[in-house]
Amino acid sequence: MKEECSWFPKYCVLLALILVNACQDTPAPQGLVGLRPGDPPKLYPELADSLNPVPVIRAPVVLDVPTGEYSHQAVHPSVLWLNQVWRGKQFLMMMTPYPGGNAYYENPSFLVGNDADHWSVLEGAKNPIITSPPLGQNNSDPDLVFNSRTQELFFTNRLATLDSNIITIRSTRDGVHWTEGKTIVAERSHNVISQSFAFGPGKPKMYSVNAGPLGCRSRSTSVEVREAENADSVNSIADYRWSKPSTVYLHQPGFMVWHGEWRWVEPLQVYLAVVAAFPDSTPNSYGCGDNELFLAVSKDGLHFKTFPHPLVSRKNPWQVVASLYRASFVYDEARDVLMLWPSVLTMKSEWKIWHGPDWKFSALMDTLNASLANGGFQSQAYADLRKSDPSFRKILSGLTQVP
């Protein structure tokens, strides 16, 4: 086959692309070490020193995510599980391909699924929705929301230019045809990162991270929130006029928040956040890459309670990874389960999206609260977690850019 391709390189490349594209229609998740279908819940060792060990409902699987450039590497998932069928599907995802950390391909792409594990491009649709910007700029951080009243999907994109962060919003009624981007927030670099909508009591909120001019190499970050000042007088989310940012209290001792997803969870009557945060002891040369995932909870959306144990650690029981990145989550009220879709950097320098681990939420909260009550932030285990591991640094040092 190698000799044949040497004679007809163009035809061989074309054939390969056709075959790869055909395979994209039937993605299948790859299981990690852990639970199999039908297995009873297991305890997560990361939380073993707390009073009430947490049952993991299911271990993570690696998703086979269709990407336009055929790498199946992606980050920044934003997942919705609708309580209705929309265009024949209930599961919707926005993500950005990220083959080998190449920001040229980091462009928002839309997928649909019949379940939480199997994803495909909607019939008639084409990815990416936004093409690559000029050299030196990149797209990132798509956030997907659904307006059940108007049956519209909206997503925001963050364009990082040489000196600015520009948040635009687009909408669709069919998943195929999207409106042109409308700028809703523009700030100096890197004052608005990982924007995320939350529609709770009062005015709609848009959260983001402020990392200042140093961005990924900042030694201080903060979480901010903007509110839609005219939400009662306009019909479209795209027409919201956003306030100036206010600082949110979300402090993870020993860590700096880099990315996150914030949502109002109606059945629980709380705001939940899953944030990717890196140790404040990380050397500047490794930037913001060595993240753990943490859970935060708030009643008012302004003051978040955090916990010493990560929701998922890089040294987790299923697959040790170099970094955990922006994750998406859904709360399943019927099962009292927190479903999680994290993006990870593997030890093979590949960016992947997982589904899982999924948690029994009430048991998870009991455990996290117990660990906090027992002085978990002062524990040796927490101190060790903050250390930047050399094995991860080797992988991180090869990154040209963190998404």
pLDDT of residue 398: 47
Residue 68 contacts by C-beta under 8 Å, 6 or more apart in sequence?
97, 105, 107, 109, 127, 128
4-61 confidence digits (pLDDT tens): 233 223 333 333 333 333 333 334 455 554 434 344 434 344 443 333 456 688 889 9
Listed residue (71, 61, 63) closest to 20, CA to CA: 71
Q: Which amino acid is at 250?
A: L
Mean of pLDDT values over 373-388: 65
pLDDT given at position 288: 84
Distance CA 277, CA 292 (A): 6
Kindly tell me the sign of the dihedral angle through the C-alpha atoms of 4, 10, 14, 17: positive
* Average of per-residue pLDDT across 306-329: 89
Give the pLDDT score at 402: 47
| Spacing of C-alpha 287 from chain mean position | 18
CA distance 84 to 107: 28
| Average of per-residue pLDDT across 76-80 | 98
CA angle 337, 340, 346 (to 5 degrees): 145
Tell me: pLDDT of 401 over 80.
no
* Residue 228 DSSP code: B
Confidence of residue 331 (pLDDT cuts 50, 70, 90): very high
Residues contacting 54, CB < 8 A, separation 6+: 43, 44, 47, 359, 360, 363, 364, 367
pLDDT band at 236 (very low <50, low <70, confident <90, very high): very high
- Classified as helix, coil or strand, 268 is coil
Task: Please tell me the distance from the alpha carbon of residue 292 to that of residue 271, in angstroms, as a whole number.
Answer: 20
User: Across-strand partners of 199?
Assistant: none
User: Could you give the CA distance from residue 373 to residue 361 in angstroms, rounded to a whole number?
Assistant: 18
Angle CA 315–321–324, to nearest 5: 95
| Residue 317 pLDDT | 78
Domain boundaries, the chain: 67-352+383-396
pLDDT > 60? residue 90:
yes
Distance, in Å, from the CA atom of 328 to the CA atom of 339, rounded to the nearest integer, reads 8
Q: Write phi, then psi, for 193 (nearest 5 degrees).
A: -125, 140
Average model confidence (pLDDT) across the chain:
83
In CATH, what is the architecture of 67-352+383-396? 5 Propeller (2.115)
Phi, psi of 153 (to 5 degrees): -100, 140
Cα gap 57→62, rounded to integer Å? 16
Q: What is the 3-state secondary structure (H, E, C) of 295-353?
A: EEEECCCCECEECCCCCECCCCCCCCEEEEEEEEEEEECCCCEEEEEEEEEECCCCEEE
Which of 19-23, 221-225, 337-341, 346-350 has the least mean pLDDT? 19-23
Q: Which two tokens stand for residue 55?
A: 């049952």
User: Distance between CA atoms of 173 and 154, rounded to whole angstroms?
Assistant: 9
Mean pLDDT of 169-181: 98
Q: Name the pLDDT band for 313 (thresholds 50, 70, 90).
A: confident
